Structure 1
């Protein structure tokens, strides 16, 4: 199974993000029901039971997050965007939670997540961005540069199974872990 660990975001925040102005053709927009903040991508594994047990020892307090602006990966404007995202105003406790999850998984010797931790909510993917798509993406980013949300409380993180389908990935919760330091 293909697994990742994420924080779910509240439905009103998902609705706000799905309604951002300036959407354009040429991007695959994320279904609002699938929006989340990835804490760790694990990938294909047959060790779900071991991963679930390892995550059960993660101890962290609830934390507050808020949407703050939009951006793109890669960051360089010399390259076409591949991902459009909403940023997060995140406390240091989010980075600490990420580190605690990695520490809990370390004894399992899973392949490392080589990307630096950059918390965000993916809004769209533009895998084959043409010049017109890249221009539309820049307009979208400029139009929504100041998007924000009220702070929301995060009280849990979830281990998800990701199933790739022709219409996009489907995410199924495998286990939910409460934050109650």
Structure 2
């Protein structure tokens, strides 16, 4: 890792294969969970960081919000045609992506872990907007829950972008669209009238996540997690 002269900017140079930090372990999904769904596990196995890993920064919903989303899923399932072509995200894996990073080196992972507490500001409950089919109903790829514009959330996403640039990532050309991915869709499925979502969602932690792409579905691993500061009463 190199430091830019006088600017406090960190530049990261990719080097050869390195060993992962010791002391991390996999935690497997609970027995009986859907093996085809996107899953969330904790920790990282030795060797996980060799050659870089796919990472992103995310907000994690609190327990009450996860339960509300799980209840709404039952209603959503009634509105889907071609249920076999829908892969639902498990409740434990639900998250709001603040900044997708892509391939991330050891040095970048270390920097992002170090700066993560600076992102853990208090955040109000975020108003939801609607369920959406992305990119559109003619070519459905994802079922998402769109969130309303919120200045605190936008500022947090901007701070993530700033730290990503300092860590050596290129500028994200796409604008921030606050959403949670609820399901991944394959051709042949469709939706009728979608129900109303929960009125708002609350988040209780910011995390650096690893995304592992597998044939059944993505697996998300928490590399670091910091609780958000409590909101003023």
Is this contact kept in 2: 1:63–1:155, CA < 8 A?
A: no
Instruction: Tell me the residue number matched to 1:6.
Output: 58
1:95 matched to 2:150: no
Extract unaligned runs of 5+ from structure 1: none
How far off is 1:86 after superposition?
Answer: 1.2
Question: Please, what is the CA RMSD of the aligned residues?
Answer: 2.3
Shift of 1:30: 1.8
Confirm or deny: 8 A CA contact 2:119 2:206 kept in the other structure: no
Deviation, 1:120, is: 0.9
CA-CA distance at 1:59 after TM superposition:
5.8
2:130 paired residue number: 69
Corresponding residue pairs, total = 169
State the TM-score, normalized to the length of structure 2.
0.64
* Unaligned 5+ runs, structure 2: 1-52
**1:38 aligned to 86, 91, 97, which one?**
97
| 8 Å Cα contact 2:116-2:206 kept in structure 1 | no
Residues 36, 106 of structure 1: CA spacing in aligned structure 2 closer, same or farther, 3 A cutoff? Answer: same
Q: Partner of 1:55 in structure 2?
A: 116
**CA–CA distance in 1 between the matches of 2:208 and 2:153?**
16
User: Hey, what does 1:158 align to over in structure 2?
Assistant: 207
Structure of higher RCO (CA pairs closer than 8 Å, 6+ residues apart): 1
Higher percent of residues as helix: 1
The 2-side partners of 1:91 and 1:16 are apart by: 25
Shift of residue 81, structure 1, vs aligned partner: 1.7
- The alpha-carbon distance between structure 1 residues 34 and 155, as it changes in their structure 2 partners (threshold 3 A), is closer
